[in-house]
Amino acid sequence: MKALLIRDIRLAVRAGGGFGLGLAFFLIVVVMVPFAVGANSELLSRIAPGVLWIGALLACLLSLDRLLALDFEDGTLDLLATAPLPVEAALSIKALAHWITTGLPLVFAAPVLGVLMNLPLQGYGWLVLSLLLGTPALSVIGTFGAALTVGIKRGGLLLSLLVLPLYVPTLIFGAEAARRGATGADVSTPLLLMAGISAATVALMPFASAAVLRVNLR
């Protein structure tokens, strides 16, 4: 499992779908928003949590179509399906590698980009915590979408259409937790709900991903 994790991290970086592309997209989204809504510092402070969360979500979505495509093309998925390692475990490792190369860098970059959005000082810690709790769910759900569309030519658009509705609860509670933290309100309810969503997806979604992947590999 450790060897598979290291391999997937190296592939993600070398294939151009790692942290560099996600961070660049995240930066572009955050930089473009002030140009679109104006340089009103009060307005930017109010919308900063939501904009940062949407940027992080779209940055995670950007690399999902390559999550299983390379392994499908070179036959690695067929080997994983017949290996002693359960398919559920292999897909969990792939989701972890995606989170390390895409989600985790976004967590560390969000406070820096929050400066551009005039995020209130008390909101930085809650923003990082909400992303830290929510981005694992994005990677695990994205792995399910990648397994569902693997083998489909130009399936990136279909993958986005399938995954985005599943991302909505995480986005709602993550942005609400960051918004409440920025305004000094109680953040316990959205944080607990988001943590519950992440825990449920991490525990259950690999089984659904493995099931659809076995169907697609037949």
CA triple 218-147-164, angle to 5 deg: 145
Q: What distance in Å separates the CA atoms of residue 176 and residue 39, rounded to the nearest whole number?
A: 23
Nearest 10 degrees: CA dihedral of 106, 17, 199, 129?
A: 0
Q: Please give the DSSP secondary-structure letter assigned to residue 39.
A: S
Per-residue pLDDT tens digits of the chain, which is 218 residues long: 777 788 777 777 776 555 578 888 899 988 898 888 887 888 889 999 999 999 999 998 888 877 887 778 777 787 777 778 888 988 999 999 899 988 999 999 999 999 889 899 999 999 999 999 999 999 999 999 988 888 777 667 788 888 999 999 999 999 999 999 999 899 999 999 999 999 999 999 999 999 988 888 77
